[in-house]
Amino acid sequence: MSELQRAGATPAKHAFFADQSEREPSLDFLEYWRTLLKRKWAILAFAAVVTLVAGVVAFVSTPIYEAKTTLLIETNKQKVVTIEDVYGGVGSSREYFQTQVEIIKSREVALKAISKLKLYDDPAFDPRQPPKGFSAFLQQLGLVKLGPAREWSEQQLIEAVYGAFSSNLFIEPVRMSQLVTIRFTSPNPALAATVANGMAQTYIENDLDARYQMTRTASIWLQERLSGLKDKLNQSEQVLQNYREKIGVVNIDKSSQSGNAQQIEPLQMRLIEARSRRAEVEATYKIIKDATKVGELASQPAVLNSVQVSEAKRTASEAARKLAEVSQRYGKDHPKYVQADSDLKLMEENLQRQIDLVVGSVNNEYERAKSTEKMLENALGAARGSVQTINRKEFELGQYEREVDSNRQMYDMFIKRSKETSVAGDLQTTVARVVDAAALPGGPIKPNKRQIILVALFLGLLVGALLALLVELLDNTLKSTEEIESRLKQPLLTVLPMLSKLDAVRTTSGHLVMDSPNSLYSEAVRTARTGVLLSSVDLASRVLVITSSVPGEGKTTFSSNLALAHAFTQKTLLIDADMRRPSIAKAHGLDVTAAGLSELVAGSAQLEDCLQQVKDSNLMVIGSGIIPPNPLELLHSESFVRTLEALSRKFEMIIIDSPPVELVSDALVLASHASGVIFVTKAQSTPLPIVRKALKRLRRADGHILGVVLNALDFNKAEKYYGEYSGYGKHGYGTYGSAYGEAYGSSGQAAKAKA
C-alpha cells in the first residue's frame, strides 16, 4: 500500500500532487502587486530619500549657461580660383560637409580659439589658480605641501586649458542641412557667448589662412615645375621628329597598312583552297599507292573514271571476243587465230599503258598540290611579317606621339594654373559664414531642478519596487497555504493563526483549546483532529508523532492542544519524547520530577507511576522522565517498541511530541513506529530548503506523513498580500462561535461538558 493510500488519499489527490510537483513557484502580476503593497512604506521611504538627496544636489549645484552659434558651410559655392583641383578638389558631396565638421572639432582650431580669446587668463580656466575644494582643505591642514611656483609659457597654458575647454564644447551638424551648431557651456553666460562666437570666427579665419597657404605653396611648386616641363616637352618632340626621319615616314596611319592587309586575305583564301585540293589528291594518291602494292589498280575509282582507260578496256574486250570466235573455228596455228591473239595482247598492253598514265597523272597532281600549298604558305608568311614590321614601327611611333601629347597637355595645364595662381593671393572666398551668432543666454540649462526631482522620484520608486520584488523572490519561507502543497508536495492538515500577546501567554500552558474554545486557534486544532480521524478510520488505535524541522516552530504547543482536542472524544495519551528539552509536563502544570518515558522503557517504573492527568480534562500525560545519556538508543530499543505496543492497547490515541528533525534523529526513529506523522512549520520563518530536507528524511525513515501544519500565520496579512481568501482574518466563525460561547462559556469545565 502506498503512502498516499495509507493517508486516505484518493487517486484524484495523487494526480493533483503529481501535477503540482511539475510546477515551479513563480510570481504572477497579482503577486507582484501584493508584494508592492506589502512593502509600500519601505518603497515610498526609499523614493523619498532618493528624491531628497537629488533635490539637495540640484539646489546646491552651480547653474550652467549655454550659448549657441550657427554656421553655414557652403559646399557648392562657386570659386573664382579653382586651385583646389591640384589637391583633389573639394567636391559637393556630404563627405566634404562632414570633413569641415571634423575640422571644426579638431584640436588645432580649439587651440587657436583658446589663444585668440586668451582663456588661460579667465579664472574658470586658469591653471595657475590655487587649488579649491578638498585639495585646498588638505593644504590648510598641512597634509599636502605646496611645491615651488611653476613657470608657464603661453603654449603650456593653452595646452593646460584645452582639456576643460573641449569638455564644455559641443559641435553638431544639423540634420538634412549644411548648418553646424557650436555650443559652449559655462557658469559665466557672457563667457559662453564669447567662446561660441570666437570658435566660429577662428574656424573661418583658419580656413582662409589654410587656403592662402595652399595657394602660395601651389604657386611656388608650379613655377618650379614649369621650367622642367618645357625642357621635357622639347626633348620629346625632337625624339619624335628624329624617328620619323629615320624610318622615312612622314605620317604613318592605318592607311599605310591597307596594301599588305589586302594581300593577306586573298592569300589566306587561296591557301585554304590549296590545302583542300591537296587533301583530296592526297587521298586519291594514297588509295592508288596502296592498290599498286596489291595489283588492284584497274578497280580504283580514279582509273575507272578515265576516258582513255574506258576506251582501252572496250577495245581489249572486243579483241578478246574476236579471239574467242576464231578459236572456235580455227586452231592455234591458224593465221587468223594468231592475228586475233596478237591483237588482244596489243589491246591489253594499251590498257596497261592507259592505267599507268592515270596513276602517273595522280602522282603529278599530288606533287603540284603540295608545291602550291607550300608556295602560298611562304607568301602568306612574308605578307604577315611585313605587316608585323610596320605594326612594330607604328607602335613605337605611337609611344613617342603619346609622350609628346602628354607633355604638351601637362605644360598647358601648368601654364593655366600658374596664371590662376597669380591672382589667387588677391582674392579668397570663405567656405563658411555665421548665420546666427551666439547671444547672452537668458537662463541656465542645468540643473533642471524640477526634472531632476521628478526623475529621482521615478527612479526611487522603480528601484524600490525592484528591490521589494527581489527581496520577495529571495524570501524562501512559506507564506501561504498554497505553498504547502505546491512547494512541499504535501497535504495541508490545518493552519494555526498567529496568536495575540494574551493568547500567547495562555498558550504556554498548552490549554488554549480548553481556555478559549471559540478562538481561531482552537478551531484550527479541531480541524487537525478531524483530519487525523478521517485519515485512518479503521484503526482501533493511532500513534501520532508531532515534529518540526527546527526548534521554536510551535510543535509542543500544537501537540498539547491536539491531545486535549482528542481527549474530549477518545482515550488519549500525550508522551513527551523530547528528552533533551522536555516541556510537556511544565506546560500542563504537572510534576516534572515524576517518572516518565525513560523509566517506563527502562523498566524501572510501572505505567501507573508514569501517567499524570491534565487538570479538568481526560488527557493522560507521560513526561520525559530522567534524561538518559543517549535518548536515541533508548527510543531505538526493543523495549520501547514493546512499551508502545502496550500503550496502544490501553489508549485509542497516542500523541508523541518529538525533537526537531534537523537537530537529532529521534523523530526519525519514532516516525518508523507511528501510524502517522504530523509536521509543524512556522509561516514566514523556517527556510523552505530546511523544511524539504526534514520531510525527505522522514520519508526515508518510512514515516507516514499525514499532513503539514502551518503555524503562526497572520491571516489578515496573508489575505491582503498573498491571496489567502479564507475569511479567517475578517469574519471569524460567525454565529457558530457566538452560540458556542453562549452555550458553554470559555472555562475548562464547559469545554469538558461539550465533549
For residues 358 and 291, membership in a common domain is answered with yes
Domain that holds residue 178: 65-73+92-200+431-436
The pLDDT-based confidence of 292 (bands split at 50, 70, 90) is: low
How many domains does the chain contain in total? Answer: 4
- Tell whether 216 is covered by a domain: no
Gap between the Cα atoms of 390 and 406, Å rounded: 24
Gap between the Cα atoms of 391 and 580, Å rounded: 122
The fraction of the chain above a pLDDT of 70, given in percent, is 71
* pLDDT tens digits, 660-695: 998 888 889 999 889 899 999 988 778 888 888 989
Strands 179-186 and 676-682: unpaired
Give the pLDDT of residue 88. Answer: 45
For residues 646 and 676, membership in a common domain is answered with yes
Gap between the Cα atoms of 388 and 398, Å rounded: 15
> Do the beta carbons of residue 147 and residue 141 sit within 8 Å?
no
For residues 412 and 553, membership in a common domain is answered with no
For residues 388 and 305, membership in a common domain is answered with yes
Measured between alpha carbons, how far apart are the two ends of the chain, in Å?
35
CATH number at residue 507: 3.40.50.300
Strands 676-682 and 611-613: unpaired
Gap between the Cα atoms of 363 and 356, Å rounded: 11
For residues 39 and 69, membership in a common domain is answered with no
Of 161 and 727, which is predicted with more confidence? 161
Cell output for 739: 452560540
Gap between the Cα atoms of 688 and 109, Å rounded: 68
Range of lowest pLDDT (73-77, 494-498, 559-563, 653-657): 73-77
Handedness of CA 90, 96, 97, 99 (dihedral sign): negative
For residues 672 and 611, membership in a common domain is answered with yes
DSSP 169-223: EEEEEPTTSSEEEEEEEESSHHHHHHHHHHHHHHHHHHHHHHHHHHHHHHHHHHH
For residues 50 and 69, membership in a common domain is answered with no
Gap between the Cα atoms of 649 and 407, Å rounded: 131
Nearest CA among 419, 429, 414 for reference residue 221: 414
- Tell whether 13 is covered by a domain: no
Q: Look at residue 153 and tell me whether its pLDDT is greater than 60.
A: yes
Handedness of CA 210, 211, 216, 219 (dihedral sign): positive
Average confidence score pLDDT of the chain = 76
- Tell whether 34 is covered by a domain: yes
Q: Look at residue 95 and tell me whether its pLDDT is greater than 70.
A: yes
For residues 280 and 402, membership in a common domain is answered with yes
Angle 396-399-404 (CA atoms, 0-180°, nearest 5)?
A: 135
Q: Look at residue 280 and tell me whether its pLDDT is greater than 80.
A: no
Under DSSP, the state recorded for 148 is: P
- Tell whether 693 is covered by a domain: yes
For residues 269 and 356, membership in a common domain is answered with yes
11-25, 96-110, 223-237 — which one is most confidently predicted on average?
A: 96-110
Gap between the Cα atoms of 718 and 244, Å rounded: 114
- Tell whether 225 is covered by a domain: no
For residues 267 and 337, membership in a common domain is answered with yes
> Do the beta carbons of residue 435 and residue 68 sit within 8 Å?
no
- CA 747 vs. chain centroid, Å, equals 71
The fraction of the chain above a pLDDT of 90, given in percent, is 14
> Do the beta carbons of residue 572 and residue 566 sit within 8 Å?
yes
Q: Average pLDDT in the 24-33 region?
A: 62
* pLDDT tens digits, 602-630: 888 898 989 999 888 899 999 988 888 88
- Tell whether 381 is covered by a domain: yes
- Tell whether 463 is covered by a domain: yes
Q: Name, in order, each residue with C-beta under 8 angstroms of 72's C-beta and a sequence gap of 6 or more.
A: 178, 179, 432, 433, 434, 435
Gap between the Cα atoms of 256 and 240, Å rounded: 18
For residues 388 and 457, membership in a common domain is answered with no
Gap between the Cα atoms of 239 and 234, Å rounded: 9
For residues 111 and 153, membership in a common domain is answered with yes
The pLDDT-based confidence of 737 (bands split at 50, 70, 90) is: very low
Gap between the Cα atoms of 387 and 385, Å rounded: 5
pTM of the model: 0.48
Q: Look at residue 398 and tell me whether its pLDDT is greater than 80.
A: no
* pLDDT tens digits, 59-93: 888 888 899 999 998 865 544 444 444 444 444 56
Longest dimension (CA), the chain: 187
Nearest CA among 580, 493, 589 for reference residue 533: 493
Q: Cis peptide before 148, with omega less than 30 degrees from 0? A: no
* pLDDT tens digits, 309-349: 677 777 877 878 787 887 787 777 778 777 777 877 788 77
497-534 burial string, b = 16+ CB within 10 Å, else e?
bbbeeebeebbebbbbbbbbbbbbbbbbbbbbbebbee
Nearest CA among 544, 561, 554 for reference residue 675: 544
Angle 636-637-640 (CA atoms, 0-180°, nearest 5)?
A: 95
Q: Look at residue 272 and tell me whether its pLDDT is greater than 90.
A: no
Of 42 and 479, which is predicted with more confidence? 42
Gap between the Cα atoms of 134 and 7, Å rounded: 74
Nearest CA among 530, 496, 526 for reference residue 737: 526
- Tell whether 15 is covered by a domain: no
Give the pLDDT of residue 660. Answer: 92
* pLDDT tens digits, 520-563: 888 888 888 888 888 766 676 789 999 998 888 888 889 989 99
